[in-house]
Amino acid sequence: MEAMHATILPIPVHPGLPLVGNSFEYIRNPLAFMRRLLDTYGEQRMVRIQVGNRTTTLMLKPEETKQVIQENNRNYGRGKSFAILREFLGNGLLTSEGDFWRRQRRLAQPAFHRQKLALLAETMIDEAISWVNRLEQSASKGPVNISTATTDVTLRIVTRTLFGSSLADELDDLSKALANLNHVANNAVINPIRLPKWVPTPDNRAFNKATAQVNNLIFGIIESRRQTDQHRDDLLDMLLHAIDEETGERMSDEQLRDEMVTLFTAGHETTATSMAWTLHLLAQHPEVLARIKAEIQATLGQRKRPSADDLRAMPYLSRVVNESLRLYPPAWIMSRLSLGPDQFGNYRLEANSGVLISPYVLHHDPVSWPNPDRFDPDRFAPDKARERHAYAFLPFGGGPRLCIGNQFALMEMQALLTVLLNRFDLKPVPDLQITTQPLITLRPRQSIKIYLQ
Ligand code: HEM
């Protein structure tokens, strides 16, 4: 019998200019560009684009996305765009690959289990309460700059949950040094003309100085922790004592440093921006705000301090957080590089091809999300969620490289929202126009300001 061969079709190519391809369209407004691509090529499920001198395939639908990041994930590596991140994160969970990554993930995973998170939740709740007390002072003076306020509290939370039981002075210095390293690294990532690290450009000098400062402080803390057997309730402690069940090994100082800087970087700005977007949406939608406040009041009654269980017991709060992560996913794009060829229906992806996965595109597809720009938390009611493909909603990625901090981030946002909204009402500043700015994370371009009353 003659073998049946599927016809191999070329992956659709979006036409562009000679040499630069689609670079201008992409750089001008990547979000709008990708949504146009979804409109035009949605039925074909993927499209090839050229940005800079690189050609890459944008996956437009949940099924193909799932094949890349879950079903056939071993065929996809991190790709070139992770090289810059690797310079300052080292070989931590976000940037490492293969067996090294697998071992680190095994070691770190238990630190994020439910019981451990319940301990960290207490720190989050403490910080939420002091944050709201601090806001009390600024609230009487006019609209509050929410972007600054959420950056401030998430910085304190990430520093305390990672290194919490260190000395207060050490924490303060470290938190400043890490925030500075992140700032310097952000500049480096968006600067198109970058010279190797040893060339003493102002950017490189700032980068090397910030790295040295962070390393000094972290290595100092690790050393003093290694000298005692006493256990503490922070992530550094959990990683210091983690033992690989397969090999009996522990992490070296170098690995611990890379993981701590990675967790700080991956966990700070993402949570700060999604908190800011959520508050912005709530200030614009009084009917949703009223419902969430009613849920908080019914759960807490007279109590001012929620427990970790309270936070988990508020389904509407969780829908609001999800809907905000759908509209404004902080990790709006993720990249991969195929190691070998792969087959998607009739399309063949060659080895060594760049692949883009965009939570932003998946979250704005009218097939999964009717009227996709509308803020409607009830899309996450259980019956509606069951009707959708699981990969239509990917704020934390998926497959084995799913965000390790997803439950941490949700708990943090729930703690901050509960304590804040239990105390304040939100009133929008009239005529405030907020647009998106897709950098490494999807930020608001303007400062979000809200009256807290
Ligand atoms: C709203 C907040 C957050 C969002 C939207 C977010 C999103 C993501 C996404 C999409 C990925 C997958 C990247 C990829 O596959 O290429 C990821 C990975 C990661 N995230 Fe998060 N994240 C958040 C908060 C956090 C927090 C709080 C932490 C730590 C405390 C964290 C630590 C990490 C780490 C270590 C990875 C790499 C995991 C691995 O590859 O094994 N994230 N995050």
Residue 66 included in any domain: yes
Q: Is 371 left (phi over 0), alpha (psi -120 to 50) or beta?
A: left
Both 247 and 373 in a single domain? no
Domain boundary among 343, 369, 394: 394
Residues of the chain with pLDDT under 70: 1-5, 165-167, 188-195
Instruction: Supply the CATH number for residue 429's domain.
Output: 1.10.630.10
How far does residue 244's CA lie from ligand 1's centre (Å)? 22
Residue 314 included in any domain: yes
Domain boundary among 349, 367, 394: 394
With beta carbons less than 8 A apart as the criterion, state whether 59 and 356 touch: yes
Both 159 and 249 in a single domain? yes
Both 286 and 412 in a single domain? yes
Task: Provide the pLDDT for residue 22.
Answer: 95
Both 238 and 298 in a single domain? yes
Determine phi and psi for 65, rounding to 5 degrees.
-60, -45
Domain boundary among 353, 377, 394: 394
How far is residue 203's CA from residue 18's CA, in Å, rounded to a whole number?
32
Residue 225 included in any domain: no
Residue 317 included in any domain: yes
Both 257 and 353 in a single domain? no
Residue 71 included in any domain: yes
Task: Provide the pLDDT for residue 198.
Answer: 77
Q: Which ligand 1 atom is nearest residue 259's CA?
A: 35
Q: Is the CB of 143 under 6 A from ligand 1?
A: no
181-210: string of b/e by CB count within 10 Å (b at 16+)? bbebbeebeeeeebeeeeeeeebbebbeeb
Print the domain residue range for 434: 91-165+232-326+400-453
347 forms bridges with which residues in the sheet?
A: 9, 344
Instruction: Say if strands 54-59 and 354-357 run parallel, antiparallel, or are unpaired.
Output: parallel
Task: Provide the pLDDT for residue 3.
Answer: 46
How far does residue 383's CA lie from ligand 1's centre (Å)? 27
191 forms bridges with which residues in the sheet?
A: none
Residue 212 included in any domain: no
Maximum separation of any 2 CA atoms in the chain, in Å? 82
Both 271 and 149 in a single domain? yes
Task: Provide the pLDDT for residue 1.
Answer: 40
Both 28 and 77 in a single domain? yes
Residue 378 included in any domain: yes
Q: Is the CB of 274 under 6 A from ligand 1?
A: yes
Tell me the three state secondary structure of residue 189: helix
Q: Which residues contact 377 (CB under 8 A, 6 or more apart)?
A: 288, 316, 319, 320, 322, 323
Q: Is the CB of 377 under 6 A from ligand 1?
A: no
Both 317 and 413 in a single domain? yes
Counting beta carbons within 10 angstroms of the beta carbon of residue 219, is it exposed (0 to 12), middle (13 to 18) or buried (19 or more)?
middle
With beta carbons less than 8 A apart as the criterion, state whether 405 and 427 touch: no
Q: Is the CB of 105 under 6 A from ligand 1?
A: yes
Residue 262 included in any domain: yes
Both 71 and 2 in a single domain? yes
Task: Provide the pLDDT for residue 354.
Answer: 96
The vertex-261 CA angle with 256 and 267, nearest 5°, equals 120
Q: Give me the number of domains the chain comprises.
A: 2
Determine phi and psi for 449, rounding to 5 degrees.
-120, 140
Mutate-to-test residue for ligand 1 from 66, 154, 327, 403, highest number of ligand atoms within 8 A of CB? 403
Task: Provide the pLDDT for residue 194.
Answer: 64
Which among 433, 406, 326 has a CA at the least distance from the CA of 370? 326
Both 390 and 247 in a single domain? no
Both 376 and 438 in a single domain? no
Q: Is the CB of 262 under 6 A from ligand 1?
A: yes
- The sign one gets for the Cα dihedral 59, 65, 71, 72 is positive
Both 377 and 426 in a single domain? no
How far does residue 269's CA lie from ligand 1's centre (Å)? 11
